Amino acid sequence: MDPRGNTRWRTPAIVLAALLAVSLVVAGLVWKREHDRATAQERAALAHGLALHAAELRDAAPGTARDLGLAAVKIHPDGQTRAGLIDTLVGERSSELTPDASSEVALSGDGRIALTGDDDEVSVWDLTTWLDPKIIEKSDRIAVLKGHKEDVGAVALSFDGRTALTGDDDGTTIMWDLTDPAKPVRMAVVVNERDTEYANSVLAVALSRDGRTALIAGLGGDVTVWDLTDRSRPARLSMTAHASSIDDLGLSADGRSAVIVDNDGAVTVWDLSDPSHPVKSADLTLPAKSAVATAMSADGRVVLVGNAHRAELWNLDDRSRPVRTAAFDVPLADMYDMASAPDGKTALLAGPGDSGILWDLSDPSRPARLAALKGYTREIDSVALGADGGVALAAGPGGVSLWDLRGLAEVVADPEGAACRGHTSAAISKADWARYTGSTDWSDYGEEDWGALAVCLISPGST
């Protein structure tokens, strides 16, 4: 036999064997890739279903909602499941301050003193016990500000909580001394001039940090600047007239800058360096629909304006040349109110529906959604933020709710860790697993013979 012939046949055979091996490897890799893709899709679908159930159970069964939301993140940690778990954990930090309807709310800078107003009265609250989890019995309102004959439509509280303004539909603004919040003292009354009933109802009020400068806006479109150095004898310094009534306004802590939104949606920036002669320094040109609400940081350098579906962030380092730093979509059907924390790094936007949206503005060019403050069955009319975003209030026909948001940054950064801390024994029973996942076998996420699925021990999914 010719050995060269064997070699001639052996080489093609080797090549064919190699090609077959490569084909098998490629087929195996393709199968694995498709299998992994299908598995990832199954995990994502399961996680999103659990997150949806968690959202539905937040009010009725918050513990179950937390466990299901945590399981969703463990199984498939994406933006949707993380946001759902964060919203659930934030919801656990809420309390019902009062079930009574309230159309207006205000907070002191440290978040300790609150005002809630409805009809012709304004309640004063000391939130000290509400912000201490060790105290079970929470304090009731400590005082009521009376003296209005018509519904109160605007309230403001100085940063230190010692001065309050309350304005009503009769055009009357009352100035209060809350040095002892349990024993408020009415210091002075200002009545807007008007030609007909309700023609100059008070729609918005604002106070400087020290409570010495006030802005009062009326339905007729006038905005007056007041010197409250002597709170028993307020002195009107100036008035500006606008083409239509005022929807909202903001005042810097030093009282030197203001932003005003009128009913036509125009937004103007005012220089109050000389409060006796206010100067309009700029118009904020909005490319989208007109604005209906605004909020200003304490230093007057950051302004937020918004309307249904959209908000914009502006920098006022140069009040004559405002710079738009960001615009972002807001998942609200309408905008009823917004509030900025004193440091301007957190904002709360609210409107119709059952939630307000909390935003991180620490990077002015990239606002980021932090959480939804849920718990309402009706619209939110008024919101307030204090203590650099650590305390939030939301008021409406359904009452007033308080959120303790201290430590929120840690929750947002690591919702899994936050959910498991103090709840290491969190588990989903087989009955609940079947109820919320159908026939899904949990053996991919825990031991098959376990009596319950230990949520914090679920094998993490891939992003």
Q: What is the pLDDT of residue 462?
A: 45
Could you give the count of Cα atoms lying within 13 Å of 287 in the half-sphere of its Cβ?
6
Tell me, which fold does domain 95-404 have in CATH?
Methylamine Dehydrogenase; Chain H (2.130.10)
pLDDT digits over 199-230, tens only?
578 889 999 998 899 999 988 888 999 999 98
pLDDT digits over 403-447, tens only?
999 989 999 999 999 998 877 778 888 888 888 888 777 777 766
The greatest distance separating any two alpha carbons of the chain, rounded to the nearest whole angstrom, comes to 124
**What pLDDT band is residue 358 in, cutting at 50, 70 and 90?**
very high
Phi, psi of 351 (to 5 degrees): -170, -150
Q: What is the pLDDT of residue 463?
A: 43
C-alpha closest to that of 338 among 317, 319, 313 = 313
Q: Is pLDDT of 191 > 70?
A: yes
C-alpha closest to that of 180 among 146, 142, 209 = 142
- Region of residue 268 (left: phi > 0; alpha: psi -120 to 50; beta: else): beta
Q: What is the pLDDT of residue 42?
A: 80
pTM: 0.84
Q: How much is the average pLDDT of 59-68? A: 89
Report CA dihedral (35, 40, 46, 51) to the nearest 10 degrees: 180
Q: What is the pLDDT of residue 113?
A: 94
Domain ranges, ordered by start, for the chain: 3-89+415-457, 95-404
Q: Is pLDDT of 457 > 50?
A: yes
Q: What is the pLDDT of residue 347?
A: 93
pLDDT digits over 100-145, tens only?
989 899 999 888 999 999 888 999 999 999 998 888 888 889 999 9
Q: What is the pLDDT of residue 18?
A: 64
The answer to whether 340 and 402 have CB atoms below 8 angstroms apart is no
CA separation for the pair 172, 225 (Å, rounded): 15
79-91 vs 3-57: helix crossing angle, rounded to 10: 30
Other CB atoms within 10 Å distance of the CB of residue 190: 18
Q: What is the pLDDT of residue 461?
A: 54
CA separation for the pair 202, 186 (Å, rounded): 18
Helix (H, G, I), strand (E, B) or coil at 164: strand
Pair of tokens at residue 154:
């605007």
CA separation for the pair 430, 454 (Å, rounded): 11
